[in-house]
Amino acid sequence: MAGVQPIVLDVEHPIGTYVNIYEARALDPRIASMRRKGGAVTAILLYLLEKGIIDSVIVARKKKGLKGEAFLAKTPEEVLQAAGSKWSIVPYTLGLKEKLLSPDVRKTAFVGLPCQAQFLRQMKMFPLMESDFSRKIYLIISLFCMGTFAVESFLNYMHRSYRLQPEDIVNIEVVKDKLLIIHRSGELEIDISEALPYLQHGCLTCPDYTGVFADISAGRSPESDYTVLITRNKLADKIVKDAAGEGYIELHEASVKTMDAILEKGREKVFRSYKYLSAVL
């Protein structure tokens, strides 16, 4: 996609450049019936797919426990099926190239983490001859990310401390400063600081909370049940507005309170990266 702005990412600009910041939620009854909060990313993907703007979506799908895999969704049903995964928890890179090389994929939307968005953006900007599959990517959507877990050691910790078997953990969600562990017998809330030692080491030096290289960045609003959408170029902004115009999402400008909360999270991650970078340099 054309129109990539220069990226500045520091405590003054912790969420990069953007066109608009919205709060949105799905109006589509198929998403509402899944009782998903926000759900705007799934609704936008359904809009793009059902209007024939893209032919597929590459998302993460939870495989087992917290492990994820790249999943190529070609139908609305498959997009809805993947929507149950907590994308920002499951890292996946293996299989991404294979999905993109599939002859079925000609114009796709990618949903992933800020680091994956950066990787794909750089491929689009500086394509290599032997692996130039980036031209197939029409839209890059990044999900807000504070980090992903070293899966095995985190699961060991959950077992040691809470007697939770890995196979019983259904999902993990970040809710404000808490981790909500959803398991087969109920839910468990733990302070996010308790999980920090189990983050991937690389995540501790990563400054990008929102995904500044994406076309659209998205994450749950810290202040409401809406999805925050950050559009970073004109086409991305048009897609979001058109999805609203077609009745897939409800959309309004983000409140000052929501924007402040996102900026605060962004700054927190930039500061964290400074702290850990200075420790290793």
Task: Tell which one of 3, 84, 197, 202 touches ligand SF4 (CB under 6 A).
Answer: 202
Smallest separation, CB 198 to ligand SF4 (Å): 12
Q: How far is the CB of 68 from ligand SF4 (least distance, A)?
A: 11
**Can you tell me which of 140, 179, 203, 240 binds ligand SF4, judged by CB under 6 A?**
203
Interface with ligand SF4 (CB under 6 A), residue total 12
Interacting residue with ligand SF4 among 14, 38, 114, 222 (CB under 6 A) = 114
Q: Nearest-5° angle of CA 119, CA 125, CA 129?
A: 90
Q: Is residue 41 at the binding interface for ligand SF4, with CB under 6 A as the rule?
A: no
Q: Which residue has the tokens 């500061």?
A: 271
CB of 114 to ligand SF4, least distance (A): 4
The binder of ligand SF4 chosen from 113, 151, 179, 244 (CB under 6 A): 113
Residue position matching structure tokens 């492990």? 67
User: Using CB under 6 A as the criterion, what x/- string covers residues 90-109 for binding ligand SF4?
Assistant: -x------------------
Determine if 115 is a binding residue for ligand SF4 (CB under 6 A): yes
Among 108, 134, 148, 258, binds ligand SF4 (CB under 6 A): 148
Q: Closest Cα to residue 136, out of 125, 124, 146?
A: 124
Q: Is residue 177 classed exposed, middle or buried when 0-12, 13-18 and 19+ CB atoms within 10 A define those classes?
A: exposed
DSSP strand pairing (186-191 vs 216-220): unpaired
Quick one: which segment of 187-195, 197-205, 219-227, 228-236 binds ligand SF4 (CB under 6 A)?
197-205
Interaction of residue 244 with ligand SF4, rule CB under 6 A: no
Question: Which range, of 47-55, 75-83, 111-119, 252-260, touches ligand SF4 by CB under 6 A?
Answer: 111-119
Stretch of residues binding ligand SF4 (CB under 6 A), selected from 21-29, 141-149, 170-178, 214-222: 141-149
What do you get for the CA distance between the two ends of the chain, in Å? Answer: 36
Alpha carbon distance 260, 164 (integer Å):
36
Q: Rounding to the nearest 10 degrees, give the CA dihedral for residues 151, 59, 212, 130.
A: 100
C-alpha dihedral (122, 126, 129, 131), degrees to nearest 10 = 10
Nearest approach, Cβ of residue 91 and ligand SF4 (Å): 6
Is residue 256 packed enough to be buried (19+ CB in 10 Å), middle (13-18) or exposed (0-12)? Answer: exposed
Distance CA 21, CA 228 (A): 7
Taking CB under 6 A as the rule, does residue 38 contact ligand SF4?
no
Closest among 144, 279, 121 to 215, alpha carbons compared: 121
Among 38, 65, 147, 266, binds ligand SF4 (CB under 6 A): 147
Under rule CB under 6 A, residue 48 binds ligand SF4 = no
Question: Quick one: 59 or 145, whose CB is closer to ligand SF4?
Answer: 145
Amino acid at 14: P
Contact residues for ligand SF4 (CB under 6 A)?
91, 113-115, 145, 147-148, 200, 202-203, 206, 208
